[in-house]
Amino acid sequence: AKDPVRVLVTGAAGQIGYALVPMIARGIMLGPDQPVILHMLDIAPAAEALNGVKMELVDAAFPLLKGVVATTDPVEACTGVNVAVMVGGFPRKEGMERKDVMSKNVSIYKSQASALEKHAAANCKVLVVANPANTNALILKEFAPSIPEKNITCLTRLDHNRALGQISEKVNVQVSDVKNVIIWGNHSSTQYPDVTHATVTTSAGEKPVPALVNDDEWLKSGFISTVQQRGAAIIKARKFSSALSAASSACDHIRDWVCGTPEGTWVSMGVYSDGSYNVPAGLIYSFPVTCRNGEWSIVQGLSIDEFSRKKLDLTAEELTEEKALAYSCLS
């Protein structure tokens, strides 16, 4: 049997945490033959709720679950972890300045970076979910210099999956037959959901999405804004932000990163920019990637038309500003 993998979930007493931990314990993140030990971190006010989640994990008698650590101590939480899913953060509250929220998250991600750097397993893979996801991941990277930058990513897979879902509804095909959409940039309303290179598998082979949709106006406006604003639409409908879809997409992100993407398919991940597609280096920016042997690489050579270029630049500008704001919180 395989050795168990230790998976950290921060903010585990929150709503995404509650949806995510049973998925991990069921093998949805790392596979149906991979035992796991869950490490759950939350803060003191949520300690009792966190313990309740631990009780439920015991009660669910998951065959793959070989242990549960539930703690408010970041060092205990980070010790020996192979995968870290960072869901905990400080939410923006009514009337709060952007800078104040940024400042809270910068201090959280700075200190959790140190705990991970000192105590996680070598080669630990990190996924930041908590908003502002890209910039939290960048702070984590800056303050965990010994963790390879390739190991620090943020979640844009939910946006990617939302784009797949919208296309499948529009052209009335199964979502599993749609692939190679791209989310470029920030996990925010400036993200650019791009279907220029996306395809649908049909009985007559792979067809380009733009031709199948055959509605340029919708692709250039309604589609983009629906994906960008989907988070807000979920809050309006549910009175809570997306949780099951976020948890499921976090599992997709880690599974594809660890187990690899299928031949001919790419996915979107927020990763450290190397300057590909003229995106400024040094930002955590969402790119199309393929994964193999536990490593992602940015898909190269895709054509970028004028419309797309503007959108790639706009979301890069926002990330550059966020980075400056985050750094101003450090001094």
Catalytic residue annotation: 187
Is 267 a residue that touches ligand NAX (CB under 6 A)? no
Q: Which stretch, 84-92, 206-214, 284-292, 306-314, contacts ligand NAX (CB under 6 A)? A: 84-92
112-131: contacts with ligand NAX (CB under 6 A): 129-131
Site pattern 200..239 for ligand NAX (x: CB under 6 A): -------------------------------x--------
Binding to ligand NAX, residues 277-306 (CB under 6 A): none
Near ligand NAX by CB under 6 A, which window of 140-148, 240-248, 283-291, 307-315? 240-248
CA 245 and chain centroid, separation: 11
For residue 201, give both structure tokens: 């598998």
CB of 112 to ligand NAX, least distance (A): 7
Distance (Å) of CA 73 to CA 1, 44, 76, 129: 31, 9, 5, 20
Q: Does 326 bind ligand NAX (CB under 6 A)?
A: no
Min dist. Cβ of residue 88 to ligand NAX (A): 3
DSSP class of 300: P
- Establish if 187 lies at the interface with ligand NAX (CB under 6 A): yes
| Contact letters for ligand NAX, residues 44-63 (x by CB under 6 A) | --x-----------------
- 27 contributes a contact to ligand NAX by CB under 6 A: no
Torsion of CA 27, 31, 37, 38, to 10 degrees: -50
76: phi then psi, degrees, rounded to nearest 5: -60, -40
Q: At 283, which amino acid appears?
A: L
Our CB check for ligand NAX shows the closer of 158 and 212 to be 158
Q: Check the CA dihedral 65-17-53-120 and report its sign.
A: positive
One of 7, 9, 16, 120 touching ligand NAX (CB under 6 A): 16
Asked whether 198 and 330 are in contact (CB, 8 A), the reply is no
Does 110 contact ligand NAX by CB under 6 A? no
- What residues numbered 87-106 form the site for ligand NAX, per CB under 6 A? 87-91
In contact, 25 and 255? CB cutoff 8 Å: no
User: Is residue 322 a contact residue for ligand NAX (CB under 6 A)?
Assistant: no
- The contact pattern for ligand NAX, residues 241-260, with x = CB under 6 A and - = no contact, is xxx--x--------------
Nearer to ligand NAX, 212 or 247 (CB): 247
Query: What is the C-alpha separation between 133 and 116, in angstroms, rounded?
Result: 17
| Least distance CB 238 / ligand NAX (angstroms) | 11
Q: Which is nearer to ligand NAX, 34 or 268 (CB)?
A: 268
Distances (CA, A) of 84 to 63, 73, 154, 161, 189: 21, 15, 11, 21, 26
Is residue 7 a contact partner of residue 247, using CB atoms and an 8 Å limit? no
HSE-up (13 A, CA, CB side) for residue 93:
4
* Sign of the dihedral through C-alpha 269, 270, 271, 277: positive
Binding site for ligand NAX (CB under 6 A): 10-11, 13-17, 41-43, 46, 87-91, 108, 129-131, 133, 155, 158, 187, 231, 241-243, 246
